[in-house]
Structure 1
């Protein structure tokens, strides 16, 4: 099995200990994205603004692998406050996946990097 590292100049730069995504076979494994800007600062506006920023960054990584969000098979979402943020996160999520949304898991967690409200990762398929 061979692995190919995906790097998109358009996406937020990854920290030195992980890749933005890895391709293995016809599958793309995209690392988690939180709602930060290019300077690794959390975006203001709560979970909805962070969800937009995180999905936009994830989209740029997917584009770096040559696919769009339509190729996403599964998303995992982590929320630091599941009861409070589930519905507002979903509103934004459905803007990006309005038709035939991918399979998804949403998990409540104790905390996320930089005090983020949410994080999203995905698995997608190459054509």
Structure 2
């Protein structure tokens, strides 16, 4: 007999609109899986702290402001799906510049996760789908 596992998608009214055909999150049983979350803000294409040239290449970016924006977007998605920050159990971090940005990320991560410490994996990627320097992939465990 198969267990009864309900599944539902969630779309946040506060997080940035997805850049493709996917929900902000999907709940399966008591697990909530978040799609990749970047630092854009809802209704805007401009990325916080990013300066682009005429061809759309990044001239400069403020990594710290992107981190704060990503954490806020994750919080929005969690809350709008009925979860809390403290429910996070796993975070995968994608950085485009590990050498220059990891120390800043690690410092800010420690501020946001003082009491709740989910598992974490951090990887460097060549680029992300929009001109961002960071993206998070998260999973939360909700009370049954």
Normalised by the length of structure 1, the TM-score is 0.93
The aligned residue for residue 95 of structure 1 is: 111
CA distance in 2 between partners of 1:26 and 1:11 (Å)? 22
The aligned residue for residue 34 of structure 1 is: 38
In 2, are the aligned partners of 1:46 and 1:117 still within 8 Å (CA)?
A: no
1:118, CA displacement in angstroms?
0.7
Aligned pairs, number: 127
Q: Which of the pair is proportionally richer in helix?
A: 1
CA distance in 2 between partners of 1:96 and 1:63 (Å)? 16
1:100, CA displacement in angstroms?
3.7
**Map 1:48-67 → 2, pairs under 5 A:** 48-67=64-83
The aligned residue for residue 8 of structure 1 is: 12
CA distance in 2 between partners of 1:47 and 1:77 (Å)? 14
CA distance in 2 between partners of 1:8 and 1:96 (Å)? 21
Deviations 1:61-87 (A, max 9, x none): 000111111000000000001111101
The aligned residue for residue 107 of structure 1 is: 123
CA distance in 1 between partners of 2:34 and 2:116 (Å)? 20
In 2, are the aligned partners of 1:73 and 1:103 still within 8 Å (CA)?
A: yes
Bigger Rg over Cα: 2
1:98, CA displacement in angstroms?
1.1
Structure 1 regions of 5+ residues with no counterpart? none
Query: Structure 1 residues 27, 88: closer, same or farther in 2, change over 3 A?
Result: same
CA distance in 1 between partners of 2:83 and 2:105 (Å)? 24
Normalised by the length of structure 2, the TM-score is 0.82
2:143 aligned with 1:123: no
Structure 2 regions of 5+ residues with no counterpart? 50-60
Q: Which of structure 1's runs of 4+ aligned residues deviate more than 4 A?
A: none
